[in-house]
Amino acid sequence: MAVNTTHGPSGVSANRKTRTASSPTSLGSLLRRPETGALIGTVAVFVFFAIFGGGQFLSSGGAASWLNVAAELGIVAIPVGLLMIAGELDLSVGSVIATSSMTTAIVSGYWGLPTAVGIIAALIVGGVIGFVNGLLVTRTNVPSFVVTLATNFGLAGTTLGFSRVITGTTSVSLAPEDWAKSIFGTLIAGQFEVAIFWWIAVILGVGWFLHFAPRGNWILAVGGDTISARSTGIPVEKVKIGLYMSSALGASLVGVIQTILYNGAQVANGQAFVFNSIIAVVVGGVLLTGGYGSVVGVLLGTLTFAIVSQGIYYTGWNSDWAALILGILLLVAVLMNNTFRKMALSSGTPKKKA
């Protein structure tokens, strides 16, 4: 994997260390990769449910059940993961999904405008919300946890209020045009959501940017040491605002997909994504303190979450156990992340100078 070295020694030395340690040259370097723990977790839960879930879990219908969940969650989790790598949080994605869903449904369903107009309006609303989040975090220095939590509640109330004022109800139906249905809301072979292809596109695009594009190095540098990153000329504020906008756009895309898939929207949509996305990212090897993680890890963490949340139904056990398994996975993931990070930092690379 290429190492970017064009942004000064102090701001990116920790990032170089992470990327160098991620090169698959030996078993030792493999164990130091940020996604190693996630890979172990994904394989373990898949084998577990393959044994106890039987043929139904391994069938195409079983695969569709957790891939569909992983696709929608992954579109949100990957940009959220980038934010967490940069040392920030976004707890507003749930309300962004609801707001974008209702925007699409009201514009193209209630008002009867073309579906394209509703989709564009939803994405614009998402971009504006992300921009405001990023601006508030960078200009006020209030912790992102507080800012985005406030945004989540504020958006929820605003969406509910405007929906009642405009439509008189909290749910709006939509009859999307055929092209929109085929691109955003169709089922392939009657089982697999087309969102899976959007998820793959996000994985490839974001993965290339983070790990191979020169500016992708900035994200890891900002999360590793903000002061050093700023001193080397990295526009920290612009990076964070851009990441908040990408997080909100990912949530908006999921809102559009859900609205077109289910031919309507409700103001309560999306709240489960707030913590589910963070769980997927942490299980995927991203540190809560920032500066460490990968897109592959987030992909694996998302798969692990989806397999557990859906696999439990194929075992015949009480579905309440899924929450217990996810809680255990989250705790184990944090412990494993710390272990693999210590291994990466002790790989022999010289430490960063103060």
With the C-alpha atoms ordered 219, 220, 225, 228, is the resulting torsion angle positive or negative?
negative
Q: 187 — phi, psi (to 5°)? A: -110, 120
The predicted model scores a pTM of 0.85
Q: 93-133: per-residue pLDDT in tens?
A: 999 999 999 999 999 999 999 999 999 999 999 999 999 99
CATH class held by domain 9-345: mainly alpha
Residue 110 CB coordination number (10 Å): 18
State yes or no: pLDDT of 44 exceeds 80: yes
Average pLDDT over the chain reads 85
State yes or no: pLDDT of 274 exceeds 70: yes
Higher pLDDT, 15 or 172: 172
Distance CA 219, CA 100 (A): 27
pLDDT given for residue 338 in this prediction: 66
Instruction: Report domain extents, the chain.
Output: 9-345
Task: Report the range of poorest mean pLDDT among 2-11, 170-179, 227-236, 321-330.
Answer: 2-11
pLDDT band at 337 (very low <50, low <70, confident <90, very high): low
